[in-house]
Amino acid sequence: MPLSLADFDYTLPPGLIAQAPLPERTASRLLVVDGGRLEDRRFADLPGLLRAGDLLVFNDTRVLHARLHGIKDSGGRVEVLIERPVGRHEALAQVRASHAPWPGSRLRLEGKLEVQVVAREGGFFLLRFPGPEDLVDLLDRHGKLPLPPYIRRSAEEEDEARYQTVYARDRGSVAAPTAGLHFDEALMSALRTQGVELAWLTLHVGAGTFQPVRVDALVHHRMHRERYVIPADTVAALAAARARGGRVVAVGTTTLRALEAAAQEGEVLAGPGETELFILPGFRFRTADALVTNFHLPKSTLLMLVSAFGGMENLRRAYAHAVAERYRFFSYGDAMFLHKDHEI
């Protein structure tokens, strides 16, 4: 039967949604899911789940200061969330206001930036920012870190570090690749010492990652487009891991999505690309043997992806177990080490 939105719903007590990070990155819990087998561990136990020759692949994107507040020409308040830069001075953005701004109008953001509304493109607005300064630098100086909507507070100084991975490099995301938030330098050093290889790619997470799925028949859903880059060194590391019999472990759904997008013709291809790949149960995975991931929102495309990777029934049991055992959910929450379903 065709999959529907209701197939990916579950009941989550609001008190399990993590509102702040734990004092230590590696202090979170880790639920190991291997088919129907569940095991409660700590994230610091991750080296014990890996062996020499395995390859971890990370997303090294860095979160932009993508949230800005201001007023329209009319004086009405607006909140702008950058979706993605599309040049040195322009960006696609979500604009929240009592009445949507018209193309040709202006927004005064953070009391100083005179921003022109160029056009409307579906649910987004094309905005042109002033002056010679590069847009990304402008955002870093004037914008605010965009915590997810389910975190019911404004970003604080602690979030500047904790809502970035320790290996974040390439600025361009409006949401963190949250599976990577559990890693610190000491853990990564321990993995290297153990003989586990590390590799990186970049996928810039767009604001569309938080957009709800608005159709019940999932065949009609269309994903937001995201940019990625797969370095040639990472492609070589993937091939070397396979040749030596090591496992490939994707750190985060964004990493797995980028790898699968780059492998649609068979082998993972190096270079830049854009993807709107929508992964549902039945998808044939080509690139990874296991996935490190956080717990995802009900009815979300990320929950659909992990259900495709680990098996729908396995994920239902795992999420029910996590709720019963009071795991912490979403961006600042706990993690899973998810083996690919043996039947895929």
Domains in the chain, CATH or no CATH each: 5-63+158-339 (3.40.1780.10), 67-144 (2.40.10)
pLDDT value at position 91?
95
Q: How far is CA 217 from CA 9, 264, 284, 290, in A?
A: 14, 24, 20, 28
* Grouped pLDDT means (10 residues each) for the chain, 344 residues: 91 98 98 97 98 98 97 94 92 94 96 95 93 94 94 95 97 95 98 98 85 87 91 98 98 98 95 95 97 97 97 98 98 98 80
Percent of the chain as helix, strand, coil, to the nearest 5: 30, 30, 40
Distance CA 56, CA 241 (A): 10
Q: How far is CA 40 from CA 62, 81, 131, 142, in A?
A: 30, 37, 53, 42
Q: Is 290 exposed, middle or buried (0-12, 13-18, 19+ CB in 10 A)?
A: buried
H/E run at residue 161: helix 157-162
pLDDT value at position 311?
97
H/E run at residue 68: strand 67-72
pLDDT value at position 310?
98
pLDDT value at position 211?
76
Q: Which residue is listed with tokens 């030596």?
A: 244
Token pair recorded at residue 124: 């987004």
In order, the DSSP letters of 245-278 are TPPEEEESHHHHHHHHHHTTTSSPPPEEEEE---
Distance CA 188, CA 207 (A): 29
Cα angle for residues 237, 243, 248 (degrees, 5° grid): 55
pLDDT value at position 344?
67
Per cent of the chain over pLDDT 90 is: 90
